[in-house]
Amino acid sequence: MIFSLVANIGDANVFELFHNADALGKVIVVGLLIASLVAWTVMIGKSLDLNRLRALNFAFERRIKQGESLLGLRIKDAASLGPYAVIVREAQKAAAQAPVNVNNTSDDKNLRMRFIENAMQRVVADQSIQYESKMVLLSSMVSGAPFLGLFGTVWGVMIAFSGMGQQASASIQALAPGVASALLATTCALIVAIPSVFGYNYLLTRAKIMMAELENFASWTSDSIELEFDLMDKNAQRPLETPQSAAQAAPAAPVYAPSMPSEPPPPEPPKPSPWAKPSREFSIRLDEEDED
């Protein structure tokens, strides 16, 4: 495929240049062509992989925005749902395994959240490795292909000058085929390196953006879980209303008791009449006064 792109450059024939190269030059050229195919395969595959992961992340984010609780979210196969789902699933496992104290103090809450955050940080690190996978191979081709092509060119020029020294007469016609075949290695090296450097920079930038989005999502997940824990603790501290407690808390209804008739007061003693008969002492005194 690459040969057909540069088969005829002016009057030069690439196949003829390849035929005139020595064995080592041919090996270098074939290796560079294979490296070019690998580089294009890696770039296309990596781009499709990043697109797929980003689509899964957006789909899972839309599912979360429906208002469902993160701790109560059911995730069956987190790996097939994307990196965001893996973070939430590991956070759920860490929340279930986190040590919980009966006192439930602020230190206990911080310990539980640190346990969950450490689990999410491990997931972020693993997913970052997945984002940057195969990028090392692409960067190696970017940096290694020019040196390999330079080596092929230097080797071809050295062979061309060595062959010209063995001839009786030196001319440009005798030197040109060997030098042209040697420069073929540099051409193939540039065919590998130029697309690879642009693809590498593009894919690396996309991977860094997605890693930043992954860290932001992990931070948001930690805050959301902490809020859910606070809400659960407040509901747990609130006393449950039972029929007995409701009856105790309700005001007592007034009890109707019929009024009993009270006993009549005792009669007052009769007052003495002013016309009543005088007492005996008074009558005796009157008799004594009559006798005198």
Mean pLDDT of 208-231: 88
DSSP-assigned letters across all residues of 90-122: HHHHHHHHS---SS--HHHHHHHHHHHHHHHHH
pLDDT of 77: 82
Query: Angle CA(32)–CA(38)–CA(40) in degrees, nearest 5?
Result: 105
The DSSP call for residue 254 is P
Per-residue HEC secondary structure of 130-141 comes to HHCCCHHHHHHH
Q: What is the mean pLDDT of the chain?
A: 76
Q: Read off the tokens for 162.
A: 């060595």
**Euclidean distance between CA atoms 32 and 15, whole angstroms:** 15
Segment 243-268 shows an average pLDDT of 52
Neighbours of 157 (CB within 10 A): 16
- List strand residue ranges (DSSP E) for the chain, in order: 8-9, 12-13
User: CB-based contacts of 41: which residues, under 8 Å, 6+ apart?
Assistant: none
Q: Residue 197: what pLDDT?
A: 93
- Range with lowest mean pLDDT among 3-17, 207-221, 222-236, 248-262: 248-262
Residue identified by tokens 């642009």 is 198
The pLDDT, as a whole number, for residue 268 is 62
Quickly state the pLDDT bin for 103 (edges 50, 70, 90).
Answer: low
Does pLDDT of 7 surpass 60? Answer: no
